[in-house]
Chains A and B, each alone.
Chain A
Amino acid sequence: MTLMTSTRQNEPSAMPLPNDERPKKIEIEGLRKSFGKIEVLKGISLEACQGDVVAILGASGSGKSTLLRCLNFLETPDAGTLSICGERITMPASAKGRMIQVDRQTLIRIRTRAAMVFQSFNLWSHMTVLENVIEAPIQVQRRPRAVCVAEAEAVLARVGLAEKRHTYPAMLSGGQQQRVAIARALAMRPEVLLFDEPTSALDPELVGEVLTVMRSLADEGRTMLVVTHEMGFARHVSSRTVFLHQGLVEEEGPSADVFANPKSERFRQFIRRIEV
């Protein structure tokens, strides 16, 4: 793990990780999604192996959040084949086809294995920090309460909020709330973490604490898909970067390569605009 970390952070371009030997956690092929007449995703293909940290970039409206939300079926894709943590689902080919009914047990497996962290935290305001974290493990995964509480306290300590376990979300800062949301995701023992613009709703001075936690998760070798506007994170922490433009993958590759010599003119412009 530590070896991978130093590789990723210090000399990422020198040694790209061998993709083929690690199990594939996420494989998407030809993913399509429309809202009404607007086609947001026009056939996206994407892969993430165990330990990959994939940064998904793109201008607003490029479909990056929709892509992430399709991965745990918050949005039902119209077409494409998704293979998520070992669950393979093929959606009907017609873009206007009726939504197929993915069966409940499969959905639960996908959603607990690929845990989501939202832009606006979405904590349950009527529960304490600890109750937020143990809710899904107890109610959905049906694990024994004592085990869940012990694990929850461990993950809360992991994000630096052990002492806040009995407070309510409304009393926490945005950065703390987002760290609780990360702890809530970790408590399900997920195989993949999905981050949907995790720092976009935060005051600038609170972004750092969340990024630090995310960086440490990346260092642990966790598989993460991160929709973000944080170029620093994409450039220095993520192992691979995907740039979406108008519902298609415009640029994709190891982060170091992609940032060092972008092939696509649009991506070059995007970097220039963001990094000024």
Chain B
Amino acid sequence: MDFRFLGETFMTLLAALPLTLYLALVSSICGALGALVLALMRLSSARPLSLIARAYVFVFRGTPLLIQLFLIYYGLGQFRPSLQMLGLWPFFRDPIYCTIAALAMNTAAYGSEIVRGGLAAVPRGAVEAAIACGMSPGLRFRRVVLPLATRIALPAYGNELIVMVKATSLASTITIMEVTGIAGKLIAETYRTMEIFACAAAIYLLINFVLTRLVLTLEWWMSPDRTTRRVLEQIGETKVKVTA
């Protein structure tokens, strides 16, 4: 084992960490907003809206993310003149924007199903109590439905965030030098596949370790009920063992 090489590789890859985090963060935020909008469309009584949402989820969940990414980055390049006319070319020319668009649209599809589940699981009685005391639909949604749905959906949404972190590695296929991209470049230079990819994997593991902690902390902080908190603490402990 060449520990010096491992150490150097690790440090080199770490330099690309900010880009990986940037991709994950921005696409997760955009994706979460998209997921909420899609879930509301899906649950809306307006049939066209619900149909559009269903079609969207069907398409983006049913096709590989890699192909979506290629379609956006390479595919849309064919329509350069029209995109230039619309003023959208600077956006689709940039591989980083294309990655964010693909990741966000993909996670919005998966996330919308999770959010829909959360919204549907809000106790009917809590909503009725809100109606009965005169809350308008908007107020009801903001003060009662959304906070309760968030608490219900958060554990499942944590999974989606982890998937998102790992999916950023696909960006390396369209020339972006995030952690996996740099790893690929180092391998091309040194042919030491094992060490370099192991280092890259360790970095993703590290990110997701921190991420699961953050989600658990958020869950704990949001659940007022002490018994739930205790259960979460126990889950936290077992997860620590698994990860370590």
Contact = CB atoms under 8 A, between A and B. Distances in A.
Interface in B120-136: 123, 125-126, 128-136
B128 A118 contact: yes
Interface stretch (A37-45, A119-127, A156-164, A232-240): A119-127
Nearest to B127: A122
Interface string B15-38: 000000000000000000000000
B129 A124 contact: yes
Nearest to B227: A170
Given A72-B132, A107-B134, A111-B133, A122 B225 contact: no
A118 B126 CA distance: 10
Interface stretch (B59-67, B140-148, B189-197): B140-148
B226 interface: yes
Contacts of A108: 134, 136
A197 B131 CA distance: 18
Given A118-B125, A122-B129, A104 B144 contact: no
B81 interface: no
Interface residues of B, number: 24
Given A124-B144, A126-B224, A128-B224, A140 B134 contact: yes
Contacts of A112: 133-134
B11 interface: no
Interface in B92-142: 123, 125-126, 128-136, 139
B54 interface: no
B166 interface: no
Given A168-B225, A170-B225, A122 B125 contact: yes
Contacts of A116: 129, 132-133
A184 B227 CA distance: 25
A47 B179 CA distance: 74
B129 A123 contact: yes
Contacts of A139: 135, 139, 143
A15 interface: no
B63 to A, nearest CB: 37
Nearest to B148: A126
A121 B130 CA distance: 12
Contacts of A102: none
Contacts of A171: 225-226
A122 B128 contact: yes
A132 to B, nearest CB: 9
Interface residues of A, number: 29
A74 B128 contact: yes
Interface in B57-94: none
Contacts of A135: 133, 143
A168 B227 CA distance: 12
A192 interface: no
Contacts of A121: 125
A141 B136 CA distance: 12
A104 B140 CA distance: 14
B11 to A, nearest CB: 44
A123 B224 CA distance: 13
B225 A140 contact: no
A238 B226 CA distance: 39
A248 interface: no
A171 B144 CA distance: 19
A116 B130 CA distance: 10
A136 B128 contact: no
B225 A125 contact: yes
Nearest to B129: A122
Nearest to A140: B134
A49 interface: no
Contacts of A115: 132-133
Nearest to B125: A122
Interface in B211-243: 222, 224-228
A226 to B, nearest CB: 16
Contacts of A188: 133
Contacts of B222: 126
Given A111-B134, A140-B133, A188-B133, 17 more contacts: A72-B132, A74-B128, A112-B133, A118-B128, A118-B129, A122-B123, A123-B126, A124-B148, A126-B224, A135-B133, A135-B143, A140-B134, A141-B134, A170-B225, A170-B227, A171-B225, A171-B226
19 contacts: A74-B131, A108-B134, A111-B132, A116-B129, A121-B125, A122-B128, A122-B129, A124-B148, A125-B224, A126-B148, A135-B143, A139-B139, A139-B143, A140-B139, A141-B134, A168-B225, A170-B225, A171-B226, A184-B133
